[in-house]
Amino acid sequence: MTDEMIIRQPDDWHLHLRDGDMLAAVLPDTARHFARAIIMPNLVPPVVTALDIAAYRDRIMAALPRGSGFTPLMTAYLTEDSDADDLAAGFADGLITAVKLYPAGATTNSASGVRSIARVMPVLEVMASIGMPLCIHGEVTSPEVDIFDREKVFIETVLDPLRRDLPELKVIMEHITTADAAAYVSAASGNLAASITTHHLMINRNHILAGGIRPHFYCLPVAKREEHRLALRKAATSGDSRYFLGTDSAPHPDHAKLQACGCAGIYTAPNTMSCLAHVFDEDNALDQLEAFTSVNGANFYGLPLNKGQLKLTRIQTPCRYLEAITAGQETVTVFDPGVDLHWHVEPLE
């Protein structure tokens, strides 16, 4: 039995930091363990232009704890009015790492997103030509499609046709939630990868609905049946280089979660690495944890591997994490995995 392991410092390839008081409150939890993170641009108003992105990056850097080496990897929110030349220039300058496609209405602050792929094809063609990655929230939003089927239908009706039309485009299907998505990625060749969240490896839809509604487990894409959770765990622990961690850690004030129409998002940044060590340990795959958290994503994005290290130690007494954090006048509930976590995490100098 492995009781101690040292891995490369991990990256988070899908992270929400928000802004203002919330940014200041949540950023230290990510910077404590992660070297880099892909920062989501769905603020209000959204982060669309290179100018927007530079200003947001400056706010993130100003909020970092003193001495932190954390690097935010910035993304642009794709709209049907996005300027391809502006995005390409930002990519060339190293300001923009990727572009994010939200189908309009699919998730939090996505009203400005894409309604028609045809309308953004000129931008996508430029991105493909310069090797600029596209991060996709892979769900359709048609009201006639059941919420639990939105990812599968998106693959069939949007993603697969897009990849056939533009095979050179580098695509990350973010926070996949279904066996269908895992099978699609595993069968793909070339420019397709997928991120998987911590919480989708640990919860299924029963956690949200069985025995009463639990809003702190509600996220988008919504957790699916147990068979899908198990398929995601198989993919994550397989060592397949097309899968990597994107926590989709998404803080919301508790008052916004606990209402008649509560918002979607789970705040996992504080305990993600303990949770992942627990999952990989359960599946006898601790030897694949570093690939999932610290290697595969960097390789897909064409970035160097981190030089820092993280030490994980199995301890007898369960790790203790705060149940909630404070952001200004608000509280944010931390993800409760429902199991004792025995993997203590600490960065190494």
Active-site positions? 248
DSSP bridge pairs for 325: 332
227 CB burial (10 A radius; 0-12, 13-18, 19+): exposed
Tokens of 273: 């690495």
DSSP 152-187: HHHIIIIIHHHHHH-TTS-EEEES--SHHHHHHHHH
Q: Which residues contact 332 (CB under 8 A, 6 or more apart)?
A: 22, 25, 26, 251, 252, 253, 254, 267, 324, 325, 326
Phi-psi group of 54: left, alpha or beta (phi > 0 → left; psi -120 to 50 → alpha; rest → beta): alpha
Peptide bond preceding 221 in cis form (omega within 30 of 0): yes
**Reduced to 3 DSSP states, what percent helix, strand and coil does the chain have, rounded to the nearest 5?**
35, 20, 45
